[in-house]
Amino acid sequence: MAVQKLPLAKALNESLRKALETDPKVLIMGLDVGKLGGVFRITDGLQKDFGEDRVIDTPLAESGIVGTAIGLALRGYRPVVEIQFDGFVFPAYDQIVSQLAKMRARSLGTVKMPIVIRIPYGGGIGAVEHHSESPEALFAHVPGLKVVTPANSNDAYWMLQQAIQSDDPVIFFEPKRRYWDKSDVDTDAIPGELHKARVAREGTDLTLAAYGPMVKTCLEVAEAAAGEGKSIEVVDVRSISPLDFDTLQASVEKTRRLVVVHEAPVFFGSGAEIAARITERCFYHLEAPVLRVGGYHAPYPPARLEEEYLPGLDRVLDAVDRSLAY
């Protein structure tokens, strides 16, 4: 049974199970990851099957979780840390930025930090404050960290395997509003490279670059635009750091137009980096400036306003039209 249709959350659960089975040094740490199986059930059943020594309910202190994961990594373990929600990672930010990210360089390459920090991120689930944020740029900006985010179940399964196998710290952002979306997972496939982008839909008139929760939105945009005779290519960026500019460049050289979409605020967001690099690489191919659609420079709004804040079909289509109008 190599190919199964699984919700993204279940694919992550299967991936963690596989990692625990494959490597006795893999540990899972976090709040409520044990008996409860995590608030999103990503670790459901794992403590029951692998024991409390490997699936560890920690004290309620994010800095403590990441700090002790660093110590465990120094001792030869491969901790997979769960941060319960995006907005709760910041007590651990000091450990991540000042310690985790720099350890390899400070040790002159003698120390490895094979730590994965899983963070459910993004909005769209009607949650209260601190439960809907997209802080990926705050991590991508830090040398020493790798930042990835899957958009479908197969990538969830494989990218998490690859992140756990990596000897570098990986911030693994999980698109929480897509946890329940089902798609095929091929557990026997030979996965592609972790840090490579993927053309999710081919097109000729314009490229939409997105990752995580916005890939689905962009595919819907492409479908809607096709009805109006516009052929849109969708690139699932997958890895934010490092970022696969070659795949983006090839796409933009074909379509000559690029719109970047993410939930995070546009200002100093990852779209800014993509726009700058693609402009450098594709200056003579571009028919329009690279446009960005994302969150506003305002705190994530209360749930009843989030549909206005988040990039949806209409706002992305609007940007597509603006780009095509150049």
Partner 1 sequence: MTVESTAARKTTRRSSGAKRTTSAASAKKAPAAQGAEPELVQLLTPEGERVQHPDYDIDLSAEELRGLYRDMVLSRRFDAEATALQRQGELGLWASLLGQEAAQIGSGRALRDDDYVFPTYREHAVAWCRGVDPTNLLGMFRGVNNGGWDPSTNNFHLYTIVLGSQTLHATGYAMGVAKDGADSAVIAYFGDGASSQGDVNESFVFSAVYNAPVVFFCQNNQWAISEPIEKQTRVPLYQRARGFGFPGVRVDGNDVLACLAVTRSALERARRGEGPTLIEAYTYRMAAHTTSDDPTRYRRDAEREEWEAKDPIQRLKTYMENEGHADAAFFEELETESEALGKHVREVVRAMPVPEHMAIFDNVYADGHALVDEERAQFAAYQASFEGGEAE
List residues near partner 1 by CB under 8 A: 21, 24, 31-32, 34-37, 39, 49-54, 56-61, 63-64, 87-88, 90-91, 126-130, 224, 267, 296-299, 301-305, 308-309, 313-315, 317-318
Concatenating the DSSP letter of every residue in 45-108 gives: THHHHH-TTTEEEPPS-HHHHHHHHHHHHHTT-EEEEE-SSGGG-GGGHHIIIIIITTHHHHTT
Smallest gap from Cβ 12 to partner 1, in A, equals: 18
What residue type is 247 in one-letter code? T
**Separation between Cα atoms, residue 195 and residue 200, nearest integer Å:** 15
Helix (H, G, I), strand (E, B) or coil at 170: strand
Question: Which one from 130, 131, 262, 297 is the annotated catalytic residue?
Answer: 131
Residue with Cβ nearer partner 1 (242 or 299): 299
Smallest gap from Cβ 151 to partner 1, in A, equals: 22
Residue with Cβ nearer partner 1 (164 or 252): 164
Residue with Cβ nearer partner 1 (71 or 242): 71
Smallest gap from Cβ 1 to partner 1, in A, equals: 17
Which residues in 208-245 are b (16+ Cβ under 10 Å) and which e? bbbbbbbbbbbbebbebbeeeebebbbbbbbbbbebbb
Q: Under a CB-based contact definition with an 8 Å cutoff, are residues 169 and 115 in contact?
A: yes
What backbone phi and psi angles, to 5 degrees, belong to 81? Answer: -95, 135
Residue with Cβ nearer partner 1 (51 or 242): 51
**Separation between Cα atoms, residue 297 and residue 180, nearest integer Å:** 29
Smallest gap from Cβ 282 to partner 1, in A, equals: 25
Residue with Cβ nearer partner 1 (150 or 269): 269
With residue 139 as reference, give the H or E element that holds it: helix 136-140
Q: Is 297 a catalytic residue?
A: no
**Separation between Cα atoms, residue 150 and residue 38, nearest integer Å:** 19
Smallest gap from Cβ 23 to partner 1, in A, equals: 10
**Separation between Cα atoms, residue 245 and residue 242, nearest integer Å:** 9
**Residues with catalytic function:** 131
